[in-house]
Amino acid sequence: MAVSSTSNSTATTNNPTTVTGGASIANNFDQFLTLLTTQLKNQSPLDPLDTNQFTAQLVQFAGVEQQLKTNETLTSLLSLNSAGTATSAVGFIGSTITADGATTRLENDKAEWQVNVPRGGSATITIKDSKGSVVQTLTKSLVAGDQTYKWDGTTSTAQKAPPGEYSITIDAKDTAGAVMTATTKISGVVDGVDFTGSIPTLKIGAISVPIDQVKSVVRKS
């Protein structure tokens, strides 16, 4: 709060402030210590502070102090954990990972997705470019379990799509015509790590893969 004063008036301007949980506890701790010390200094010798009340206040004092130490310990542990996660993420560079996702890169007329469906059936497969435009739509039979869908970059107009990032959407139905969920995974070589988010993000070209979505890692010797 900023206060400016003149001989005739007083103007007050409120500025928003942010108080963290640790700072709030620390302030209460200091205030409590000041109040307790003042109370002890000014108690009447003829009517001293009640022992039970004094004990209760000391217990409260110790509890606040312990909370402060706990917060400091947790902060240190979080810092160590973040550093360890960052170190682990850097270790992915140069490795081939498989992760949950629907966007992969078309390069040398080749793009692949790993697809899983619970039952056999058929699916309408839609492929879009990085701008969200549909470049290919087709129907394909699917078997139960894991399988690989390969795209050679041929568009619906029989042209070759340029290299870049493409995403896949699979609308699947089983042999009885019931809708079923198809999950997709992508693979690629990690060439960078982004630390700007809450968790590290692995980079496969322009594709971002959160580290917690990685399913497998293969490092060439």
Classify residue 119 by its DSSP letter: S
Higher-pLDDT residue of 190, 19: 190
Residues 144 and 210 reside in one and the same domain: yes
Classify residue 1 by its DSSP letter: -
Q: What total number of domains does the chain contain?
A: 2
Can you read off the two tokens belonging to residue 139?
A: 């129907």
Single out the residue in 90, 125, 140 at which a domain terminates.
90
Residues 53 and 109 reside in one and the same domain: no
Residues 120 and 191 reside in one and the same domain: yes
pLDDT given at position 98:
93
Give domain status of residue 4, yes or no: no
Query: Of 114-118, 168-172, 213-217, which range is least confident?
Result: 213-217
Residues 212 and 176 reside in one and the same domain: yes
pLDDT given at position 13:
42
pLDDT given at position 162:
96
pLDDT given at position 32:
66
pLDDT given at position 24:
52
The mean pLDDT of 207-213, rounded to a whole number, is: 88
Residues 109 and 162 reside in one and the same domain: yes
Residues 80 and 17 reside in one and the same domain: yes
How far apart (Å, rounded) are the C-alpha atoms in residues 201 and 127? 24
pLDDT in tens, 118-153: 999 999 999 999 999 999 999 999 999 999 999 999
